[in-house]
Amino acid sequence: MSENPATPADATPAAPEGPAGASAAPQTHPEQQTPPVRQTRHRGEPMFPDGTGPAADPAGSHHERRIRSFQPRRSRVSLSQADALRRLWPKWGLDIDGLSRIDLDELFDGLPVVLEIGFGMGEATAQMAAADPDTGILACDVHTPGQGNLLALAERNGLSNIRVANGDAIILLREMLAPASLAGLRVYFPDPWPKKRHHKRRLIQPEFLSLVTTRLAPGAIVHCATDWEPYAEQMLEVLSAEPTLENVHPDSGYAPRPDFRPLTKFEGQGLDKGHVVHDLLFRRRTD
């Protein structure tokens, strides 16, 4: 999910891959230097009609109103991103409409599937997919330029183990995924919502984990990362309190950055500024 931090400039979290459930501010990318196109050509006329691209509001109004951890951002899409969306969305994209159950075995040809909530512009997602072709990645976000960029990266690098989901990750988990169907969950650098009055918008909450764990297979890994220390502390507290999860690193609490999570240039810039990145690895109990 795209999240839009209201963070002071001198305290902005380093990495922009936040949650669909949550992506953060768009990254600068060479393809974004091409002239942008508007998401709508005329008032009320969608850019991607008839299912040729992500829907503006896939779940519509048939689901309850609640506090969201993200803010959809669809205003500017480059020509190359729009082209990728038009060509590749019918093949590798899906809208989170909450109306039907997804058959992950069919969608990923029997691969174990990890759900990634929030992928920014998709560079790290593409790297992980290339490094582990035997794992499917269901990448969920609401940031249209990032969706187009990830699809373009998947095509360019021959990555057949990525599918892009557009919409609310809560609806995806609750309505569209079967129990025990996921091999893992990844939430990297979600919007920290730093102001106290906004903490209720943070994605990692007890209610969210109670839902997530019903969709995780025994032994599945939950991997979170953030460079916002107060949010890291909340993540550790909430994850530790979930009875169906166990900390892979119980002595230290936090985990060293796993080799499979790429170090992005934006994370590196944050580290250069003295930001501390915390990884958390928890496993779905098998008993």
Q: What is the pLDDT of residue 64?
A: 58
Rounded Cα gap, residues 102 and 40, in angstroms? 29
Choosing from 97, 141, 191, 227, the catalytic residue is 191
Rounded Cα gap, residues 152 and 86, in angstroms? 11
Domain boundaries of the chain, sorted by first residue: 9-32+67-284
Exposure class string for 22-51: b at 16+ Cβ within 10 A, else e: bbbbbbebebbeeeeeebeeeeeeebbeee
pLDDT tens track of the chain, all 287 residues?
334 333 333 444 444 444 444 444 344 444 444 444 444 444 445 567 666 788 877 776 555 555 554 555 555 889 999 999 999 999 999 999 999 999 999 999 999 999 999 998 999 999 999 999 999 999 999 999 999 999 999 999 999 999 999 999 999 999 999 999 999 999 999 999 888 886 898 999 999 999 999 999 999 999 999 999 999 999 999 999 999 999 999 999 999 999 999 987 778 877 888 889 999 999 999 98
Rounded Cα gap, residues 83 and 89, in angstroms? 10
Q: What is the pLDDT of residue 23?
A: 41
Asked if 251 is an active-site residue, the reply is: no
Q: What is the pLDDT of residue 233?
A: 97
DSSP summary character for residue 19: -
- Assigned architecture for domain 9-32+67-284: 3-Layer(aba) Sandwich (3.40)
Q: What is the pLDDT of residue 65?
A: 57
